[in-house]
Structure 1
Amino acid sequence: MKMRIQDLLVFAALLWRDVAAADIYVSSSGSDTNDGSASSSPIKSIAAAQKAVRNQLKRSSTENVTVHLAPGVYLLSEPLRLTDQDSAKSASVKWIGPGALLSGGLEVTGWTAGSQGIYSASVPVGTKSRNLYVNGQAANFARRKVSNRKDFTYTSSGIKWTNAALDWISSTAGISGAEIRFINSFTDRYSPIASAKTRELVMKQNAWYNNNWGYDHVAKPNADFGVWVQNALALLSDGGQFFLDSAAGKVYYKPLAGENMATAKTYLGVLETLVAVGGTYDNPAHDITFQGVSFAHTTWNAVSDIGYVDQQTGGYICENKTYTPSNFESVRPWWCQMPSAIQISAAKNVIFSGGNYTQLGAGGIGIGNDPNAHLSGVGLGASYVSIQDGYFSQIMGNSITAGGIRPDAHHPPDNRMINSRIDISNNIFYNVSTLYSSTVPIFVSYVQYSTVSHNDIDTTPYSGICLGYGWGSNDAGGSSEYVNRGLYKYQPQYSTPTISQNNALDGNLIHRYGYGHTDLGALYTLSKSPSTYVSNNYAFDSSGYGTYTDEGSNSYIISGNVLMSSGIWSAVNGANTGNNTYTNNYYRNGA
């Protein structure tokens, strides 16, 4: 651990040099005709503030620059993209703003009461969004639960049934263009509906084909946590539900008890990304800090078109095609990652400190993710990145995702792609993974010399913290399980180890986890990660496992944990899982 402390001290020294400084002032009530050089003449927009920063860096690239954001809501018309051009040559750029909120939303006003307690408001025709936020809370889709999914017969083209109690499905107005959500053991799948016939739904391809492929899929779930038909106006019946009619430019919402739509603050998430920090491997973005700034109101629209072919923890089949050959393993190396509202890749010495991260329609913060999950198209390559002292709630996907899942993430051809020295500490996570429930508060895949410490995780439907990926298939020598499945017909059976090593999950508090799925743990690991510590964590108030060393978990030191949930304290599963050291753990339920 001495190496990590020294690294953090070097990190801090790099960011807080004692050099000359310049200040830029921004206020949502300011004007972009101002120069922002004083608090009495602030710039209004974030875009103009970025331009002012770049102009200052052209004058002097050796001065610290501080952007002071006054309290208020800053509605972004496009993502803030920070590259090496937004980085000082030998100093730092800080965006400081306690009380400032960067929003990717469209504020919705002028609500009018209609029949059955449903309100409506006008928005620009063509507005696309899957997320409405009312008074800081995410609304549900207009939806109705299917009483028993076993009444369905699954075909290559869709769903059929004979039980007359389900006839409401095909007779629902607007059912063509709606979707079905299936929550299973460790997946949460969405499939769009193409059309309806008598006691039959024809599902949109290729989402339907791909959602009935692999493991824990629609037709053969390992566990059943419910099926909903959703996203049609005719299904809007309960308080807290909404429907967006994009073609008509109208959004509908039924208030919860006590909500006053005359005073409610409502936003449709319209941007998918708020901030993208990233340059290139030759010229990375660097020495950038956000302190006390909050982020909210994003969406993720791809699901409406191609569904969500979930493979857990934000990995999904993203290509809208039928795969040939029809071996599920042929696509495993090429899954995509759910994008995050804040994206950091090809970057070093980046800090996000304090602030709130709420009402975000996909992931929260993505660090060193694959290129498909970064706005610039350049992924991985994140080092000395710190996420600290933040509050995360109402995040629809993973709150924080560190690392990628494709081949370049675990066996990079260029060492500059390696994700290393990432620190996720002292954050609070409450009621997260609320729309894509098989995601987690903190997911760390292929990284090294990184630490997840002293975070408080409260109320999440799946695992608490996940470390590792690949189910052992990408480790040196491969996995006998994946030899049998045929994976190595489609990717190398590597002879060298992945980059994962020397990481730590230390001193985290995890409670009320795993209420919406099975096959999970407070502390979940996959694949080999030498000299990695899982230590001094406290987990309770769940029926899930305490530690869960799943396929290929190897060379971990699991020590000093207090595991008080009712599930088995230490679950072990899969080929090549072993060589793990357990010492001084205190637990409630033995194996």
Structure 2
Amino acid sequence: MANQNRVEVKSVNSFTDRYSPAQSISGNFLTTRQPAWSNNTFGHDTLNDPFRTGPLHLTNAYEFLDTAGEWYLNLGAGILHHIPRSRQNMNNVSVELPTPQSLVAVGGTYDAPAHDISFSGITFTGTSRLGPSGNQGYPLRQPGQTAIGIANAHTSGVGLGASGTTITRSEIAQNSEGGVVVGGVHADAHHSSDQRMVNRDITVSYNRVHDLGIEYRGIVSVLNTYGRQQSQSGQGSPPLPAPPLHPHHGVRQQAAEQLRPRRDAADDRRRVHLHVALEP
């Protein structure tokens, strides 16, 4: 198999999807990259210990193409391989290959915060998601990629501290993962050390939200976390992999040193090797 290090292990668990990229394949032994394997075997509903035993797939290899509608991007050759669907004429097809992971990132500084911003009547569509194919994998914590990030440090570099921001009567669609994320889950999000960090007066209303989580389905379409005077209303139309609205006040992320179990040599050997029978 060519390009073995682009193969990814995908596990569909009880309520998480997890991806762990391969480092190498030898016979029936697949060795995953680190820290992706450690990331995906830590927490709940993990790759090696799911709440419900679901499908386990190998993805992202040219050799796996066998069904109409499937595609593979050969990065080295710059070629997109695609098996056309029934009665599909590729001469008449418009093909988009998104590369940006986020379309809009709203974030200022605590001395000069972002405020009094409104998006209305705009279509936000076409994002990619490149992170899960890297060494970190896709451990599925909170949604990390989103079309629009407000006071979200994943995209802006400055988390929290937004106010007077509205997204209304717009369309958010055809994105690899999530739609809108407001805020975060670290300690300063729920117990701010500086009152300037508190998100205030954020409104997401009357938007058409559809076709999200196309590739990475463990998403929330519109997620707002801790803040004051935040509201969502009138979002969504199917298909969506999860309910479109999620006012979230849960998982408070503690310091990694408190949560992550200590590693030793035996533990490394257990986690690094995933044994998968490959069909010839």
TM-score (norm 2): 0.82
Q: Is 1:261 matched with 2:29?
A: no
Q: Distance in 2 between matches of 1:462 and 1:273?
A: 20
**In the alignment, what sits opposite 1:150?**
none
Query: In structure 1, which of residues 227, 236, 241 is the aligned counterpart of residue 56 of structure 2?
Result: 227
Query: What is the identity, as a one-letter code, of the residue corresponding to 2:29?
Result: E
Q: Distance in 2 between matches of 1:175 and 1:273?
A: 28
Q: 1:505-531, CA deviations, whole angstroms, 9 ceiling, x for partnerless residues?
A: xxxxxxxxxxxxxxxxxxxxxxxxxxx
Query: What is the identity, as a one-letter code, of the residue corresponding to 2:176?
Result: M
Q: 1:276-295, CA deviations, whole angstroms, 9 ceiling, x for partnerless residues?
A: 33332222344444443323
- What's the offset of the Cα at 1:181? 0.9
Query: In structure 2, which of residues 6, 10, 14 is the aligned counterpart of residue 181 of structure 1?
Result: 10
Query: In structure 2, which of residues 121, 134, 139 is the aligned counterpart of residue 305 of structure 1?
Result: 134
**In the alignment, what sits opposite 1:79?**
none
Q: Distance in 1 between matches of 2:16 and 2:9?
A: 14
Query: What is the identity, as a one-letter code, of the residue corresponding to 2:165?
Result: V
Structure 1 contact 441–457 (Cα < 8 Å) conserved? no
- Range with bigger deviation, 186-195 or 392-401: 392-401
Distance of aligned partners of 1:488 and 1:177 in 2 relative to their CA distance in 1, 3 Å threshold? closer
**In the alignment, what sits opposite 2:191?**
411
Matched residue of 2:96: which SS? Answer: strand
Which of 1 and 2 has greater Rg? Answer: 1
Query: What is the identity, as a one-letter code, of the residue corresponding to 2:151?
Result: G
Q: Distance in 2 between matches of 1:227 and 1:257?
A: 28
**In the alignment, what sits opposite 2:227?**
447
Q: 1:180-214, CA deviations, whole angstroms, 9 ceiling, x for partnerless residues?
A: 11111121110101111222111111211221122
Distance of aligned partners of 1:250 and 1:207 in 2 relative to their CA distance in 1, 3 Å threshold? same
Sequence identity (%) = 33
Q: Residues 4-43 of structure 1 correspond to what in structure 2 (within 5 A)?
A: none
**In the alignment, what sits opposite 1:397?**
177
Q: Distance in 1 between matches of 2:118 and 2:249?
A: 29
TM-score (norm 1): 0.41
- What's the offset of the Cα at 1:443? 1.5
Q: Is 1:238 matched with 2:6?
A: no
Instruction: Pick the structure with more strand per residue.
Output: 1
Query: What is the identity, as a one-letter code, of the residue corresponding to 2:203?
Result: D
Distance of aligned partners of 1:284 and 1:176 in 2 relative to their CA distance in 1, 3 Å threshold? closer
Matched residue of 1:416: which SS? Answer: helix
Q: Distance in 1 between matches of 2:232 and 2:5?
A: 45
Q: Distance in 2 between matches of 1:455 and 1:295?
A: 14
**In the alignment, what sits opposite 1:364?**
147
Query: What is the identity, as a one-letter code, of the residue corresponding to 2:147?
Result: G
**In the alignment, what sits opposite 1:209?**
38
Query: What is the identity, as a one-letter code, of the residue corresponding to 1:424?
Result: V
**In the alignment, what sits opposite 2:111?**
282
Q: Is 1:466 matched with 2:234?
A: no
Q: Residues 175-574 of structure 1 correspond to what in structure 2 (within 5 A)?
A: 175-306=4-135, 307-311=137-141, 313-314=142-143, 338-339=144-145, 363-369=146-152, 371=153, 373-375=154-156, 377-471=157-251, 490=258
**In the alignment, what sits opposite 1:125?**
none
- What's the offset of the Cα at 1:412? 1.7
Query: What is the identity, as a one-letter code, of the residue corresponding to 1:470?
Result: G
Matched residue of 1:181: which SS? Answer: strand
Q: Distance in 1 between matches of 2:210 and 2:216?
A: 15
Q: Residues 123-134 of structure 1 correspond to what in structure 2 (within 5 A)?
A: none
